């Protein structure tokens, strides 16, 4: 994997020293508002392990994101696979950033660069993204990137009980042709 630089961000491989700030992000109830629970340090480390393993086996996963001005690790953004429990196939774009730097457009800036990188592979036809319907910030980032609703792919999270408010998930999608055709349309 090679490092990707954007105007304000460095998208790079994970380092051991990212684990502590990533665990702090995953322990923040505001960041994890649309997830069943915050993560323990062990769960956070297991997620890092899964991402690092995916880089090694699939050659693509979520990048560690560093703010260039400060050198600080601020979370992850990138194009990767799905956790085994998720009933979707192919690749997704996803993001999770520290709360104090929300609202600066970092997630779309990083996502744009990783999607350009992913779609440079002519074999990649589609990138998906999913979230719970109430996650307005995440849906807003999808809209900024030009992803469109794909209601036929919506699903109920299989690890949550029926009736749980976080169970219904909505899916968005963008095809390679649309991505390559309309870069100027992405705000
Ligand atoms: C989703 C997320 C990555 C967006 O990152 P970001 O860098 O703040 O993205 P943007 O700056 O483009 O902001 C996107 C929208 O978030 C909302 N937002 C911005 N700052 C916010 C804040 N401090 N509090 C709540 N919402 C905020 C706004 O609606 C904004 O849209 P706008 O630019 O039209 O005003 C970030 O909110 C996050 O990490 N959320 C928690 C993890 C998560 O839910 N991940 C997705 C799971 S599917």
87 found inside a domain: yes
Do 135 and 156 touch, CB atoms closer than 8 A?
no
Considering only CA atoms, which residue is closest to atom 26 of ligand 1? 137
Ligand 1 pocket residue status of 32, Cβ below 6 Å: no
Ligand 1 atom nearest residue 136's Cα: 29
27 found inside a domain: yes
Of 36, 139, 30, 120, give the one whose Cα is nearest residue 75: 30
Number of domains composing the chain: 1
76 found inside a domain: yes
Residue partners of 49: CB distance under 8 A and separation at least 6: none
Full 3-state SS string of 71-107: CEEEEEEEEECCCCCCCCCCCEEEEEECHHHCCCCHH
* CA distances in angstroms from 34 to 13, 103, 121, 160, 166, listed in the order given: 26, 17, 32, 13, 7
32 found inside a domain: yes
Mean pLDDT, residues 150-173 taken together: 95
Supply the CATH number for residue 131's domain.
Answer: 3.40.630.30
In the predicted structure, residue 176 carries a pLDDT above the cut 80: yes
Give residue-wise pLDDT tens across range 144-157.
Answer: 999 999 999 999 99
Distance from Cα 132 to the centre of ligand 1, integer Å: 14
Interatomic CA distance for residues 170 and 139, integer angstroms: 9
Give residue-wise pLDDT tens across range 98-131.
Answer: 999 999 999 999 999 999 999 999 999 999 999 9
Q: Quick one: pLDDT at residue 185? A: 58
Q: Look-up: residue for tokens 């949550």? A: 160
Distance from Cα 130 to the centre of ligand 1, integer Å: 14
For residues 53 and 183, which has the higher predicted lDDT (pLDDT)?
Answer: 53
187 found inside a domain: no
Q: 159 lies in which domain range?
A: 4-182
Of 29, 1, 27, give the one whose Cα is nearest residue 13: 1
Ligand 1 pocket residue status of 106, Cβ below 6 Å: yes
42 found inside a domain: yes
What's the length of the chain? 187
Interatomic CA distance for residues 116 and 110, integer angstroms: 10
pLDDT grade for 32, boundaries at 50, 70 and 90: very high
pLDDT grade for 186, boundaries at 50, 70 and 90: low
In the predicted structure, residue 132 carries a pLDDT above the cut 90: yes
Q: Provide the percentage of residues in the chain whose pLDDT is more than 90.
A: 94
The pick from 73, 98, 103 for probing ligand 1's pocket by mutation, whose C-beta has the most ligand atoms within 8 angstroms, reads 103
30 found inside a domain: yes
Do 22 and 73 touch, CB atoms closer than 8 A?
yes
């Amino acid at each position: 994997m090679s490092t990707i630089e954007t105007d304000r961000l460095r998208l790079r491989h994970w380092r051991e020293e990212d684990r502590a700030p990533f665990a702090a992000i995953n322990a923040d109830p505001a960041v994890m508002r649309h997830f069943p629970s915050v993560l323990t340090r062990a769960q956070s480390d297991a997620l890092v392990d899964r991402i690092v393993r995916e880089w090694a086996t699939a050659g693509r996963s979520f990048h560690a994101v560093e703010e260039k001005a400060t050198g600080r690790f601020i979370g992850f953004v990138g194009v990767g696979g799905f956790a085994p429990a998720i009933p979707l196939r192919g690749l997704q774009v996803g993001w999770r950033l520290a709360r104090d730097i929300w609202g600066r457009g970092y997630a779309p800036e990083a996502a744009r660069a990783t999607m350009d990188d992913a779609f440079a592979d002519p074999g990649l036809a589609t990138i998906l993204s999913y979230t719970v319907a109430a996650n307005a910030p995440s849906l807003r980032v999808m809209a900024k990137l030009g992803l469109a609703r794909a209601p036929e792919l919506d699903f109920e999270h299989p690890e949550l009980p029926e009736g749980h408010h976080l169970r219904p998930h909505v899916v968005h999608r963008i095809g390679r042709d649309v991505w390559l055709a309309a870069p100027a349309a992405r705000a």
